């Protein structure tokens, strides 16, 4: 199908699907989600000429991973968002199996998208083109075609360009799989955004002391932060450990020093960016005031995603809240952006034994908690749809499998002194120790959901209900 033949079907899907999605009690009240169909990765996150732009992988035609297009939202303040014209629809020879993930840059005042044109063949093989598209006067995007074919030595799994400029040089990192089925991150450079030279592999399986670290690395993002270089990426095929890397695919970060000219990245160990059930393919952008911001997809591919109950209402997945990154003593911290405080309604507070705490409405909630060490406390979200147990040495988040009802667990395997928890109609984001750790998860409680407590720990609690904040 061509772009122009998909468009009428997209329009019909939105007209029919949006009312159903917005009526779903699990549809988020203040997070970004598709108005119908499937949304996955955030794409093209940028602050450009006074406004934030966030694009997203979108299949308007259903809850399957097909027809990948780029939806587009814009915002002045990261809290209130507007729909913008759909930016990319597959249909050219070079992107006919999907306009896959990528980034946005300011090229001499022109908002330019760098994305992967994915091409699947009947025999099951595939190829990928890295492509550009430029903004037009109508706020849409005109494709200008491929600028990079598959590099020698890699399979058809080469994708997700994250592009930035340093001085006069453009750089691009790409996720890749080499011919030995090892996941890698490739660094390229260019003087003009169209002619690209491979500088080398800067991280991946078998590199930088990592050992065996997966068969494919997706969605790399490389940036300078607080005096160091940070590489975020999504390695697929990393061995699960007792309390780490438990999702089908984790999101990881590496911190070190990049020598872009020599394409060497000296880095420390592979660390997990989020310990919750749903977090993948995050992307960062630089705010005007220099903050490094991150938004992630609150989903994970190839697990139980299709069993989520929203599928029967024709939509699936949402984004995380926007977060600010910082590096403290070599550790990557994430905190909700301060702009989100605009959503707070009246403040309440409580202090005492967890077992005596009042029930709190948790439909849309921000709650700050500290706990006196010694005894543990358990937080029950909804009708035990999500259970967080907080003891001296760890946090344990439990939820039942949508497939077989068995309890599943995720861990923050270190002491937690304080928590900041953000709830929406079907999601929770737990920021641990001012953002040293995060656990992001979906859950599907009957609404209006409540939060109740048990356990003998002494808790100090401040909380706010949050305003709903719809996209216009
Ligand atoms: C990550 C990912 C990317 C790809 C996109 C396709 O979730 O698989 O690697 O570009 O999704 O939607």
Q: What is the pLDDT of residues 227-260, one digit of tens each?
A: 999 999 999 999 999 999 999 999 999 999 999 7
Cβ–ligand 1 distance for 41 under 6 Å, the answer yes
64 closest CA partner among 344, 330, 316: 316
Atom from ligand 1 closest to the CA of residue 118: 10
Please, is 8 exposed, middle or buried when counting C-beta atoms within 10 Å of its C-beta (0-12, 13-18, 19+)? exposed
Mutate to test the pocket of ligand 1, among 37, 61, 99, 100 (most ligand atoms within 8 A of CB): 100
Alpha-carbon dihedral 3, 5, 7, 13, rounded to 10 degrees: -130
Percent of the chain with pLDDT over 70: 100
pLDDT at 146: 98
pLDDT at 470: 86
Please, is 325 exposed, middle or buried when counting C-beta atoms within 10 Å of its C-beta (0-12, 13-18, 19+)? buried
Both tokens of 342, joined, read: 């605009």
> For each successive 10 residues of the chain (472 residues), what is the average pLDDT?
84 98 98 98 98 98 98 98 98 97 98 98 96 97 98 98 97 98 98 97 97 98 97 98 98 94 92 98 98 98 97 98 97 98 97 98 98 96 98 98 97 97 98 98 97 98 96 92
Cβ–ligand 1 distance for 159 under 6 Å, the answer yes
Cβ–ligand 1 distance for 301 under 6 Å, the answer yes
With the C-alpha atoms ordered 415, 418, 422, 423, is the resulting torsion angle positive or negative? positive
Tell me how far apart the alpha carbons of residues 67 and 100 are, in angstroms, rounded to a whole number.
10
* Chain center to CA of 88: 20
Q: How large is the C-alpha radius of gyration of the chain?
A: 22
pLDDT at 222: 98
- β-pair partners for 450: 361
Helix (H, G, I), strand (E, B) or coil at 4: helix
pLDDT at 286: 98
Cβ–Cβ under 8 Å, residues 148 and 128: no
Is-catalytic flag, 95? Answer: no
Cβ–Cβ under 8 Å, residues 30 and 47: no
| pTM strictly above 0.75 | yes
pLDDT at 1: 62
pLDDT at 260: 73
For ligand 1, the distance from its centroid to the CA atom of residue 56, given in whole angstroms, is: 10
pLDDT at 217: 98
CB atoms within 10 A of CB 464: 17
Q: How far is CA 7 from CA 48, 56, 61, 284, in A?
A: 27, 17, 10, 29
In the set 24, 41, 274, 424, the catalytic residue is: 41
Going by alpha carbons, the residue nearest to atom 8 of ligand 1 is: 218
Helix (H, G, I), strand (E, B) or coil at 191: coil
CB atoms within 10 A of CB 458: 16
Mutate to test the pocket of ligand 1, among 160, 280, 303 (most ligand atoms within 8 A of CB): 160
Tell me how far apart the alpha carbons of residues 384 and 348 are, in angstroms, rounded to a whole number.
23
């Amino acid at each position: 199908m061509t772009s122009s033949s998909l468009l009428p079907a997209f329009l019909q899907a939105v007209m029919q699907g949006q009312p159903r999605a917005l009526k779903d009690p699990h549809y988020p009240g203040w997070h970004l989600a598709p108005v119908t169909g499937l949304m996955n990765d955030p794409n093209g996150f940028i602050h450009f000429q006074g406004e934030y732009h966030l694009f997203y992988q979108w299949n308007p035609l259903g809850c399957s991973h097909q027809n990948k297009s780029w939806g587009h939202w814009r915002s002045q303040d990261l809290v209130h968002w507007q729909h913008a014209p759909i930016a990319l629809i597959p249909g050219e020879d070079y992107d006919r199996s999907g306009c896959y993930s990528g980034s946005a840059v300011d090229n001499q005042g022109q908002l330019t998208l760098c994305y992967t044109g994915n091409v699947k063949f009947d025999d099951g093989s595939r190829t990928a083109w890295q492509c550009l598209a430029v903004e037009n006067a109508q706020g849409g995007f005109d494709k200008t075609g491929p600028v990079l074919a598959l590099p020698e030595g890699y399979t058809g799994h080469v994708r997700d360009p994250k592009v930035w400029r340093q001085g006069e040089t453009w750089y691009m990192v790409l996720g890749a799989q080499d011919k030995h089925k090892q996941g890698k991150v490739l660094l390229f450079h260019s003087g003009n955004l169209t002619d690209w030279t491979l500088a080398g592999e800067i991280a991946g399986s078998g590199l930088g002391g990592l050992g065996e670290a997966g068969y494919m690395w997706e969605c790399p993002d490389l940036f300078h932060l607080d005096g160091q270089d940070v590489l975020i990426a999504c390695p697929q095929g990393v061995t699960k450990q007792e309390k780490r890397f438990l999702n089908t695919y984790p999101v990881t970060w590496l911190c070190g020093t990049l020598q872009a000219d020599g394409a060497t990245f000296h880095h420390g160990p592979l660390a997990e960016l989020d310990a919750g059930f749903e977090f993948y393919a995050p992307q960062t952008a630089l705010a005007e005031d220099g903050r490094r911001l991150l938004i992630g997809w609150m989903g994970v591919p190839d697990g139980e995603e299709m069993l989520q109950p929203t599928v029967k209402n024709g939509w699936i997945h949402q984004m995380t809240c926007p977060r600010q990154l910082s590096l403290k003593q070599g550790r990557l911290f994430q905190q909700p952006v301060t702009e989100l405080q605009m959503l707070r309604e009246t403040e309440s507070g409580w202090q005492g034994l967890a077992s005596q705490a009042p029930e709190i409405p948790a439909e849309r909630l921000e709650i700050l908690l500290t706990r006196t060490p010694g005894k543990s406390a358990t937080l029950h979200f909804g009708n035990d749809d999500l259970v967080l147990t907080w003891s001296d040495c760890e946090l344990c988040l439990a939820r039942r499998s949508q497939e077989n009802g068995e309890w599943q667990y995720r861990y923050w395997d270190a002491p937690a002194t304080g928590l900041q928890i953000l709830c929406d109609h079907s999601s929770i984001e737990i920021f641990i120790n001012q953002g040293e750790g995060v656990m992001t998860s979906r859950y599907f409680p009957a609404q209006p959901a409540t939060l109740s407590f048990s356990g003998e720990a002494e808790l100090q609690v401040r909380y706010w209900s949050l305003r709903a904040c719809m996209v216009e």
